[in-house]
Structure 1
Amino acid sequence: MPAHGVDVNFCKTPRCTNFGRPVSQKVARGPGATNPYTIGAAGRGMATARCNACQESFILKSNVAVAEEAFRLLAEVYPNAACPDPLCANHRVPVHVVSEYQSFGTTPIGSQRYRCKSCGRTFSVKPAGLNPIARQVQSAKNATILADLTNKMPIRRICEAAQVTPRVLYERIDFFHEQALAFLAHRERELESMRFDRRYVGVDRQDYGVNWSGRKDKRNVVVSAV
């Protein structure tokens, strides 16, 4: 079933009459009943659907997982502060919904702190324009650490060369990752105001193979770029 308006389980053949038509949870039965898809399986725990129009088969994917991944990828481009607990009912509810959050003071650097009324968790939201290295310890070594990481220097050697502890080094790696996402989000937000006569979507491949996440579930999931 769809999740947050997302449903990726449909025939991917552009010229097929079922292209873009989601797989229904209800099956027509009785004399003369026709169904656009036939549900099957390609193995244990691997549900599939066969298009009855073009006979193409595809693995059924979790719409919830796809929607959650889309939210994760768009979080930096369209930041919307909410409860950080993924299991909380307010995880996707923004903090400006006053009925779901309570202001809970500020942090030493001026970030607004909130308390979620659903799970009781407190979290802070950094103010716009805040210096990203405010109150950061040994920030002068960021350039050296980043250069060593770029040059593929071993972790232990970076700690020795920059004279930092492993904890500081891993904190810097997370910091660099956050800054890279913020830079990319800033660039992509500008696309909304840009005008093009014609737009093209550039991809390396039409289908991407995603490796399995565990030894006990060795399924190669194919994600279509089109």
Structure 2
Amino acid sequence: MSLGIPPDPFKRPKGSPPASPEAIRGTVAGAKHEEFFTCPTCSTNHRLKNNKAIFEEYNRLKDLQQVDPIAPGCRNPECENLGKSLAVHPDQYRSFGKTAGGDPRYQCKFCKKTFSIGRATRRQKRSDKNPLLYRMMVNGVPFQKMCSIA
């Protein structure tokens, strides 16, 4: 049974240690961006995917959720007001007008960066399409096809 055992990488950098004896040694075939791995144990084909972009987007959205939307404040990592909310420390911020959408904008008195209070998806034109687009990304749908479907 080879479930959960990662296959041996088919391109091994020079000077890297050899694969462990229990590593699965299947074959990789197919054209560029259409590669698939054939498992020697069960003879099934598995499409190889690069999920780096999905991983980066997941981390970006996770980081957005870590900032409390109820207590907005300066998000500049080098600022001494980082983590100090507008509600608790109103003397650290000044009103700085409104966004084009009408949301209030504030400026940090220390680093002069601005931030606005509003929905997390306020810059997206069609946030209702997110679930469909994420499902297509995870299932390996090409970008051109995603544009025509959505």
TM-score (norm. length: structure 2) = 0.45
TM-score (norm. length: structure 1) = 0.31
